[in-house]
Amino acid sequence: MSTLILTNNAVERRHVVACSRCAHCESDVPSGLVRAGDAQQFCCEGCRTVYAMIHSCGFGEYYAMRESADAGSTSAKPVIIPQKAYAEFDDPAFAALYCRGAAGGFQSVELYLENVHCGACVWLVERLPYIMAAVKEARLDFGRQVVRLVFDPLQVKLSDIARQFARLGYPPHPARGRNERELRKREDRTHVIRIAIAGAIAGNVMIISFALYGGMFHGMEPIYERLFHWVSLLLMAVSVLGPGRVFFRGAMAALRAGVMHMDVPVSIGLAAGSLWSAVNAIRGSSEIYFDSLSILVFLLLLGRWIQLRQQRKSRDAVELLFSMTPGSARLVEGDDVREVPIEAIQPMQIVEVRAGETIPVDGVVEHGLSMINASFLTGESKPVRVKAGDRVHAGAVNLSSKLCIKAESIGEQTRVGKLMRLVEESASRRAPVVRLADRIAGIFVVAVLMLAALTFGLWVWLDPNQAMPNAMALLIITCPCALGLATPLAIIAGIGRAARGGMLIRGGEVVEQINRPGLLLLDKTGTLTIGSMRVTEWHGPDHLKQIVGAIESHSSHPLAAAMSGAFGDSQSANVTNVKETTGFGIEGVVDGERVLIGSRRFMMAQGIVIPFRFAALQDEMGARAATPVLVALGSEVQAVVGIGDPIKSDAHAAIRRLRCAGWNVGILSGDHPAVVAAVARELGMDSSMCHGAVSPEEKLAFVKQSLMHGPVMMVGDGVNDAAALAAASVGVAVKGGAEASFAAADVYLDRPGLTPLAELVEGSRRTFGVIRRNIAVSLLYNVLGVSLAVAGLLNPLIAAIIMPISSLTVIVLSYRSRTFEESGSCP
């Protein structure tokens, strides 16, 4: 969760500086990374490193490939990346889990790399064999940020390679779930082949059809007409029986399960059309629909493929984040400390956790005194002090100093592990969602079959010879090409736009769910608030700020970090004799005057006078859930600082928009009820809707109970929300949160703040509007077709024109509609 704090710092700065272009890859530089005063700006550490390396190695010609090459400047220096030993990469347990043998005694391994950002990263990562001779091959999959390495285990240790990656600015993580990916790759290939066959056939049948249409107007010798009929029959048969088989399989499965699926009308249409056309072709009649049918197969397959890819994309992001959970621990054996994979730790062993690291096991502190941030479990934003004998849980972040922890439970057995199982259970138990298209399809199939029967009956009475052809024509013209495309296309277009706007949505049914407003439950820490301690108030003379910042920079206390961060840790103030009383305060001498900073008790113990004004301010802050810190100069308190977890700047506006969309907004937080009440008051929420001190298990229960009264959207960021996220009708994970919440959520907001949440709700509503319009348009076409068919006026030419036009209308409507806001790369 140290990433959480980092990200939030970046967020803060983001609004201050304007954006610029990366000197290396020319991407927009996220404004949080803009360094004021530098001539070159970089979008990521990778680019910075590459830029410096390229120039130092004399590869400057790289930039000559671009018009705007900025030659001659080598001022950028490689950044210093915190070094990690990666010793766990050498452990036999690691090799057994992630490495595989390759030809020639080599080993292959897949690693997720952080910070892969642009094309230059491909260049740098694949340069590895030139830097390290023992690495035979490095291939980066840019989209998934996974590098596949082939290396010689006798010549090089994996930890060396890992360190090299870290030095280059790409901290590596073992890529989990390799088997699943292999499976998916095979599935992907089958899909592409299916689309290709269907597409090629559709094109060829179309060309033959043009000849036939030409023949209809200008006449054609029967022998050629027969040839064209037979050839297109043959091609269509390949298309329908080959790639088109998936629809029949889907329809069979749906019928066996007793549900109406879109595959059912598609299959009926395909089968009826094929048989009818085949019979006509053999009989020598000209009423054939081979072109429409093969195009239909192609378009439907294509639509499905695009939809699948979109869903994959969001799942990949989740998978990537999941891989970044700490997989190693520092094991202490006597004087020896080494890094091992988390799986290798046994109960009763001692692990060492340095400041800034995540605690890997549940256990008891053996020795050490530190502050930990356990907000992921408790939701409490204030850091907790732990000493020897205290119980700590895996996942908490150690903030200030080294801790030695005797492990009690590891992995699955930890509280987090158990919580993750709860998440899985809730996710799998979720009721299947009925999709709009499927519901309509059910009615549609019944309606079409009834109309066909009606037409048949009508024509048996009017003209028995025309009864069968007209009924069949109706079945074919209503072949739900446009209707089949209506929902998936609108959703694909919507999800695609949403992804570009930083909202990763897992599937179409999520869009539908968001459309039914109900109860919206927000987590507090990290969702409504920034999630870390900041200075929120200052009462006192401004010149003291600098002194406070300078003194506090000597302390590693989290509140001190907030103050030195806000006031600057400038060394201009001449601070001497700094003395810290852990947990109470800090004192120092500045320009000959004694300065004390700390709690009320600290001041009283030191005999400092607290004027009434400051005592009153202090009480007020307590009511606002901020921690007051007093600053004394000489013998009297002169200023008071309020430190709290501030509400995100866009929370007010976002909540107003969500209310407008019909959602009932409430808070569900593990933090202290007084803090929750203070936040609720500030955001103008109904206090009866805001609950504090709710444990993760209670959150799950609360969501389950609320589900009985209607849809529930849960928004959270931590492990403590994960089970509730999975159980809710829609779970939304916000940026900067814990990995577990991404895995459990249906939507992941990749942009900071709550504005994307409001956009998500509004965008889903607009997407749904597009779906309705698409369905209306395609139904209109169908009604037209049906009327013509019932009247016995339908001929192949009209059918051939109407069918593609209806599909085209739907495609254009889907892609041209504004649904989700697409944000630029600079927020």
Partner 1 sequence: MSMIFIILPLAIVIAACAMAGFIWAVRRGQFDDLDSPPWRALHDEPDVSNQSTSRRSPN
Interface residue list for partner 1 (CB under 8 A): 62, 65, 108, 119, 122-123, 126, 129-130, 133, 136-137, 139-143, 148, 185, 188-189, 192-193, 196-197, 200, 204, 221, 224, 227, 231, 235
Name the token pair of 25. 């890859």
List the alpha helices (DSSP H) in 630-754. Answer: 651-660, 673-682, 696-707, 719-727, 739-744
Closest approach of partner 1 to the CB of residue 241, in Å: 16
Instruction: For the CB of residue 343, give the shortest distance to partner 1 in the complex, in Å.
Output: 27
Burial (CB < 10 A; 0-12, 13-18, 19+), residue 465, is: exposed
| Tokens linked to 1 | 């969760």
Please report how close the Cβ of residue 751 comes to partner 1 at its closest, in angstroms: 22
Looking at the Cβ atoms of 189 and 613, the one nearer to partner 1 is 189
Helix (H) or strand (E) run with residue 382 in it: none
Contact between 480 and 266 (Cβ < 8 Å): yes
- Cβ distance to partner 1 smaller for residue 116 or 511: 116
Minimum distance from residue 195 beta carbon to partner 1 (Å):
10
Using a 10 angstrom Cβ sphere, with 0-12 exposed, 13-18 middle and 19 or more buried, the burial of residue 619 is exposed
- Which lies closer to partner 1 via its Cβ, residue 130 or residue 609? 130
Burial of residue 258 (CB within 10 Å: 0-12, 13-18, 19+) is exposed
CB of 678 to partner 1, least distance (A): 47
Distance set, CA 679 to CA 98, 184, 360, 643, 790 (Å):
45, 45, 32, 14, 64
Please state the length of the chain: 827
Task: Residue 763: count other Cβ atoms within 10 Å of its Cβ.
Answer: 25
Tell me phi and psi for residue 430, to 5 degrees: -60, 140
- Choice between 126 and 343, CB closer to partner 1: 126
Q: Which is nearer to partner 1, 126 or 425 (CB)?
A: 126
Give bridge partners of residue 505 from the DSSP assignment.
Answer: 747
Q: How near is the Cβ of 621 to partner 1 at its closest, in Å? A: 51
478 contacts 784 by C-beta, under 8 angstroms: no
Nearest distance in Å: CB 489, partner 1: 21
User: Of 227 and 388, which CB lies nearer to partner 1 in the complex structure?
Assistant: 227
Shortest distance, position 94 Cβ to partner 1, whole Å: 21
Q: Kindly report the three-state secondary structure assignment for every residue of 297-331.
A: HHHHHHHHHHHHHHHHHHHHHHHHHHCCCCCEEEE
Query: Among 319, 364, 739, which residue's Cα sits nearest to residue 506?
Result: 319
Q: What is the DSSP letter of 386?
A: E
From the list 470, 50, 464, 476, the residue with the least C-alpha distance to 266 is 476
Least distance from C-beta 193 to partner 1, angstroms? 5
- C-beta separation of 395 from 375 below 8 A: no
- Residue 144 or 648 with smaller CB distance to partner 1: 144
- Burial zone of 673 (CB within 10 Å; 0-12 exposed, 13-18 middle, 19+ buried): middle
Q: How far is the CB of 316 from partner 1 (least distance, A)?
A: 12
Measure the CA–CA gap between 248 and 274, rounded to whole angstroms: 13
10 close to 36: Cβ distance less than 8 angstroms:
no
The nearer residue to partner 1, 237 or 433, going by C-beta atoms, is 237
DSSP per-residue letters across 595-648:
EEEE-HHHHHHTT-B--HHHHHHHHHHHHTT-EEEEEEETTEEEEEEEEE-PBP
Q: Which is nearer to partner 1, 108 or 823 (CB)?
A: 108
Report CA dihedral (528, 530, 533, 536) to the nearest 10 degrees.
-80
* Smaller CB separation from partner 1, 210 or 224: 224
Residue that is written with structure tokens 């292999």 in the block: 182
Choose among 98, 107, 124, 135: nearest CA to 45.
Answer: 124
Output DSSP code: residue 104. G
Nearer to partner 1, 169 or 628 (CB): 169
Residue of 758, 754, 706 whose CA lies nearest to 727: 706
Least separation, in Å, of the C-beta of 53 and partner 1?
Answer: 13
Least distance between partner 1 and beta carbon 580 (Å)? 51
C-beta of 141 vs 569, nearer to partner 1: 141
Which of 108, 115 has the CB closer to partner 1? 108
Kindly list the distances between the CA atom of residue 549 and the CA atoms of 531, 562, 608, 642, in Å, as whole numbers in the listed order.
21, 9, 21, 14
Residue 192 Cβ vs partner 1, minimum distance, rounded to whole Å: 5
- Identify the helix (H) or strand (E) that includes residue 387: none
Q: Which is nearer to partner 1, 135 or 485 (CB)?
A: 135
Taking the least distance from each CB to partner 1, the nearer of 240 and 675 is 240
Min separation Cβ 163 and partner 1, Å = 20
- C-alpha–C-alpha distance, residues 38 and 50, integer Å: 16
Residue type, 134: A
CB 60 within 8 A of CB 73: no
- Give buried/exposed letters for 29-60 (b at 16+ CB in 10 A, else e): bbbbbbeeeeebbbbbbbbbbbbbbbbeeeeb
Closest CB 73 distance from partner 1, rounded Å? 21
Phi–psi pair at 814, nearest 5 degrees: -65, -45
* 57 or 826: CB nearest partner 1: 57
Compare residues 155 and 795 and give the one whose CB is closer to partner 1.
Answer: 155
Supply the minimum distance, in Å, between the C-beta of residue 141 and partner 1. Answer: 5
| Smallest distance from partner 1 to CB 300, Å | 19
User: Which of 200, 615 has the CB closer to partner 1?
Assistant: 200
Spatial CB neighbours of 544, under 8 Å, sequence gap ≥ 6: 631, 633, 638, 639
Which two structure tokens, joined as six digits, stand for 624? 């606002």
Q: Cβ 16 to partner 1, closest distance in Å?
A: 32
